[in-house]
Structure 1
Amino acid sequence: MLVRVRSKQGTVRFEVDPNDDISTLGTKIADHLNLTDYSSIGISDKPTTTASTPIKDLVGKSIGQLGIGHGELLFITYQETVASDSSQTNNVGTKASMPFDIKQDPIDDLLEKQDGLIKRGRDSKFCKHAANGMCDYCMPLEPYDINYLTENKIKHMSFHAYLRKINKQNKHNSKFIPPLEEPDLRVKTNCSGTHAPWPEGICTKCQPSAVTLQLQQYRMVDHVEFSVPSLIDNFIHFWRSTGTQRFGYLYGRYEHYPDVPLGVKAVVEAIYEPPQEDEVDGLTLILPWNEEKLVDEVAMNCGLQKVGMIYTDLTDDGSGLGKCCFSAAMQNKHPTASKWSASGKFNSRFVTCVVTGNSNGDIDVSAYQVSNICASMVAEDIIEASVDPSVVRVKESTSDKYVPEVFYKYKNKYGVNVQKSAKPCFPVEYLLVNVTHGFPSNPVPLFTSPISFPIENRPGIESQDLKGLYRHLGLEASGNVHVDYVSDFHLLTFVKGTGILDQNDFAALARLAVSHEEKDANQLAQSTGWQTLVTIMNLS
């Protein structure tokens, strides 16, 4: 349909679809007016500036939902872009001004400032120039260079390398167009077709496009680093003691991973085990649990966040990768903020780690994520797990649920690419993104208590109480705050859960746990809240 737009430059017509997001119209208007983005555009159905609504506040709604029909006349206001010789262009290749004020993770802000180029030395065989010269054989490579990635056995490029790759074509654009877009597998509403709305009717305009599965080029996290081996040992101890499976959340932070161009690693500093019912061949979780917000606040006080999950699958032989639906649901729950997406979020850095048996019969850890299309398919209830862990089932359409066609491509025995329907099932490997894992060569963990405080929610194995806390801190002998013994994540969550310390006193305790400074210990010891806690522990 056609929409008329009137500005101080005159009236212009744009062809749009009623199902298009309003940002699509905003982008077309900005392009016509030579604006860097559409964030300054105000839109109204009346010729007055006071009634204008910022178009950025309407993002997420379709043109049809906003009541804009064929031939509609809209009035817009905007701020003209002022050219400046000092305007900054970031390393991704587009103008630094963004249409959304998105608070990204610090690792994203850090990597966006790096050039990401892969440096190469002078090739003694092919370089014929002087030492300070450069040629095709020694010039730096882009972080997404396919030959470099293949030679170094990097199966998936990093997310920021992928971002540089897709932004390369926008290098000389004067306007910002968010290059990232989440898959949309929903039936579009307000279809212009001459049929009843879904589920009574559907046509090619409103039904979601067919999905063709392929391996994801990039990965949001390139490596998982456990700060110390004891994190895994303490987690597996429950299985060794009971023979039943176990689940935990990974708390840590994201850092630069130099082994992959513009890479990101999740550094795990603690594993928290929520309430669960454990069995020999599985476990039952109730998520979210009551204390989840409390634990997240403890992590935040320590400069950490939830970066993933880990669970044991020690009845498996190493082939049990069919848990992708659970991983997808968790990734959907923990999206990554990104200013490069029109929605302000894109994919997820939430990782899944599985402690399982390998082909040699040993205990090992595998780490992975699921692809963005997998997360979208799970969110729209299109796929489900099957009895065979190596395949995933595609659901059938019902009277009130439309499932688009799903295909996957593979090479047959003649080396020819063949497309095949994914119904009723397809290999799970099309949804998985492998992530490496390991331990640092020189561990410098955030939490340094020489004795582990009892781990939560392990009835019959370990228990947490005030008397045990008193003994753990060594207060029976000295009454002083021991710096090292306080530095334990499980201790912090237990103390937080007692509610004895107020927000300021607990922040002081958390600061001591991660700083390991005597001055912080002295400050905590003098606080009223800590003295109250010591008194209560002494009376327990």
Structure 2
Amino acid sequence: MLLRVRSKEGTVRITVEGNDTFKDIAEKTAAALGLSETSNMAFGKVPSPKEALPLSQLSQQTVNSAGLSHGDMIHLSFMETPHLHTSNEAVSDQQTTTDTNPGPTTEYVEIDALKNIQQDAVDDLLEKQDGLIKRGRDSEIVSDNLDVNSCRHGPNAMCDYCMPLEPYDATYLEENKIKHMSFHAYLKQLSAAQQSKAASSTITKQLPPLEEQNYKVRVPCSGGHAPWPEGICTKCQPSAITLQSQPYRLVDHIEFSSASLIDNFIHYWRATGCQRFGYLYGRYEPYTEVPLGIKAVVEAIYEPPQEDHMDGLALSLPWQEEDSINEVAAQCGLQKVGMIFTDLLDDGTGKGTVVTKRHVDSYILSSLECAFAAEMQRLHPNKSRYSPTGKFGSKFVTCVITGDDQGGIGVNGYQVSNTMVAMQEAGIVEPSMKPSVMLVKEGIPHQRYVPEVFYKYKNKYGVPVQEPAKPTFPVEYLLVNVTNGFPHNPSPTFNSAVPFGIENRQGLESQSLGLFSQRLSSCNSARDYLTSLSDFHLLCFIRSSGTLSAEEFNALCKSIVQRDEQSFSQVQHSNGWKTLEMVSRESEPATNQAASASMSRTTSTTSDVATPGTSGSVEVTCRHCTFANPARNSSCEMCGLPLD
């Protein structure tokens, strides 16, 4: 009988007898494919290595006992060879055989130790999934015959037109307008290519498939010369860089847990006309709209100390309370997942619309913002056991709130490529005065080595052209787009109906023990307390008061996140909580101005996010200076000009 064997090496047909074993099948397949090794083979009925059984378990099973019949197809995959300890020299030697200019050395982790690296939970979950894209049976009928592109088999069989697709299938990604495949789909693609290469190779040790980019000069060098900067050769200098769109992204979607997150953040600009910056705190979860996708679920925005202006802002990094805020987030099951900032300017029409600054004919992210995003991604690396260094890329995202093409306010999400992060770390590039282009630094003998940088584009005739980046190149080569939105059925972690004063908003909102005491005065039950305290900014304020011990604060956060009334009742009976309540009651009540400012934010509806720039009946934005005035005013409190 005839069997078809499909693998990454191609599909072959072999002739077998009913009493032939899988060992015979493997040998005939190896001969047909020109392979010298069969011990790493695995066979299955579906194209998934996870479902395949190794040849060692099938070697004595016959064709008849496996239920195979004439014309059936079986799928061949190749098992990974055992990982071995690999030293820096072994890695360098392998690189030298494949690349005459391998670039600088990297601090490698022993490959066996990579198994113990603490990845994000979402990575551990996704790496166990095959990510195959299921397809239904195509039974389209043309006249009396099945169409050439349709299935010609029964409901229990499978063919090329209905078999599942790999998560990195180029046609599927293009048809579904997925510009960047997910990170784990990219890993599957690399792993498949590596297995295919290993099957036809005599190499017995296999390195993890990821390699971080590094454009620094290699120190030390085996070229026999003085180390950099005294000497340099082709072995230690980094190779030329050819910029291209990154085919994958580590985060596929940004989900804001509720519309009020964005509305409360924009409120600062509406009230002052100044820009604002915040850190995104949330968690990573699978994103089912993309094969093996990951989404960053944002639960809170924390605004660090900053100096705000109408045309920008200034930050001090690192900021003093950063570790404390990160601890609060960790106790709530959250982590820092990105940053967000506004770039808004009222267009002066009085219609609540804003100026459209960022578009394809100007810029999307400025070169300065790209450099900042690269630095933040470098400071927040993604841990991965598939990289020799134990880390690869970053899941840190950047969001910009700016005017869309309709004059409304929209949120755009991005990352910068790993190439940009590596160039930033090597000191190769710097922002330019023109926001749409990045500047390549000039090399300085014996001080700074800058490799050649190229970028490709299609000219007006549609012909690909490679251009040297002397001295600039467009920032669009550095950007990775990330979609964003809100959940269909919101269920935010923090659900307080009345927001607590947001930190570092001097002159607009305040935080005090007196306001905290007023907030608790209306609570009559444990459920009331849990609802009232369910605010990230409030938890950060309680943490900063220092009245609760670490154990008491951890228990408080756990009870609020889990909405556990019994656990909160235990917190109420703790010494720390009793002290906090007593100190709060004895504090002088703050003015109602900050409280009313917080209350005014609750009057905004989710429609403000869809058509922002207005303040409803609560405030009137001055068309001259954009200052937000009370509705009763006839002239602006900031510039003195009439509001009508």
Give the TM bin, normalised by the shorter chain. 0.7 to 0.9
Contact 1:252 1:268 in 2 (8 A): yes
What's the CA shift for 1:351?
0.1
1:181/1:516 CA distance change after superposition, 3 Å: same
Q: Which residue of 2 aligns with 1:431?
A: 478
Alpha-carbon distance, 1:433 to partner: 0.2
Q: Which amino acid counterpart does residue 364 of structure 1 have in structure 2?
A: G
1:341 paired with 2:371, answer no
Q: Distance in 2 between matches of 1:493 and 1:59?
A: 48
In the TM superposition, what is the alpha-carbon distance from 1:531 to its structure 2 partner?
A: 0.8
Q: What is the DSSP-based 3-state SS (H/G/I as helix, E as strand, rest coil) of the residue aligned with 2:116?
A: coil
Instruction: Evaluate the alpha carbon distance shift between residue 144 and residue 479 of structure 1 in structure 2; reply closer, same or farther with a 3 A threshold.
Output: closer
The superposition leaves residues 251-279 of structure 1 with CA deviations (integer Å, 9 ceiling, x where unpaired) of 00000000000000000000000000101
Deviates more, 1:237-246 or 1:470-479: 470-479
Q: Which residue of 2 aligns with 1:463?
A: 510
Map residues 78-477 of structure 1 onto 2, 5 A cutoff.
99-125=114-140, 126-171=150-195, 173=198, 175-193=205-223, 195-315=225-345, 317-318=357-358, 319-322=363-366, 323-399=369-445, 400-474=447-521
Distance 1:252 1:466 in 2: 27
Query: How far apart, CA to CA, are the structure 2 residues paired with 1:176 and 1:513?
Result: 47
Give the CA deviation at 1:481: 6.3
Q: How far off its partner does 1:475 sit?
A: 5.5
**Deviation of residue 410 (structure 1)?**
1.0
**Offset of 1:169 from its aligned partner?**
2.6
Q: Which moves more between the two structures, 383-392 or 334-343?
A: 383-392
Residue identity in the other structure for 2:135: R
Q: C-alpha distance in 2, partners of 1:430/1:407? A: 11
Deviation at 1:409?
0.9
Query: Structure 2: which amino acid aligns with 1:142?
Result: E
Distance 1:530 1:475 in 2: 17
Q: CA deviation at 1:407?
A: 0.3
User: Matched residues in 2 for 1:476 and 1:321: separation?
Assistant: 46
Contact (CA 8 Å) 1:351, 1:369: kept in 2 or not? Answer: yes
Deviation of 1:200 after TM superposition, in Å, equals: 2.8
Unaligned regions of 5+ residues in structure 2, if any?
Answer: 1-79, 94-110, 141-149, 199-203, 346-355, 588-644
The percent identity for this pair of structures is 58
The question of whether the paired residues in 2 share the 8 Å contact of 1:454 and 1:463 is answered with yes
Is the contact between residue 302 and residue 510 of structure 1 (CA under 8 Å) also seen in structure 2?
Answer: yes
Counterpart of 2:546 in structure 1: which amino acid?
Answer: G
* Distance (Å, rounded) in 2 between the aligned partners of 1:270 and 1:388: 33
For residues 26-65 of structure 1, the aligned pairs below 5 Å read 36-39=82-85, 55=87
1:100 touches 1:344 (CA, 8 Å); kept in 2? no
Change in CA separation of 1:59 and 1:338 when aligned onto 2, cut-off 3 Å: farther
Question: Given residue 371 of structure 2, which amino acid in structure 1 is its aligned partner?
Answer: C
Q: Name the CA distance, whole Å, in 2 between partners of 1:192 and 1:162.
A: 33
SS in 2 for 1:453: coil
User: Is the contact between residue 84 and residue 112 of structure 2 (CA under 8 Å) also seen in structure 1?
Assistant: no
Using the alignment, how far apart are the partners of 1:377 and 1:249 within structure 2?
24
Q: TM-score, normalised by structure 1?
A: 0.82
CA distance in structure 1 between the aligned counterparts of 2:253 and 2:119, rounded to whole angstroms: 20
Larger radius of gyration: 2
Please say if residues 238 and 451 of structure 2, whose CA atoms lie closer than 8 Å, have aligned partners that are also in contact.
yes
Instruction: Compare 491-500 and 358-367 and name the one that shifted more.
Output: 358-367
C-alpha contact 2:496 2:532 (8 A) present in aligned 1: yes
Contact 2:526 2:568 in 1 (8 A): no
Q: Which amino acid aligns with 1:249?
A: Y
Counterpart secondary structure, 2:286 = strand
Q: 1:458 to 1:405 in 2, by over 3 A?
A: same
- Give the superposition deviation at 1:100: 4.5
State the TM-score, normalized to the length of structure 2.
0.69
In the alignment, the residues of structure 2 paired with residue 408 and residue 165 of structure 1 have an alpha-carbon distance, to the nearest angstrom, of 25
Which amino acid in the other structure matches residue 435 of structure 1?
Answer: V
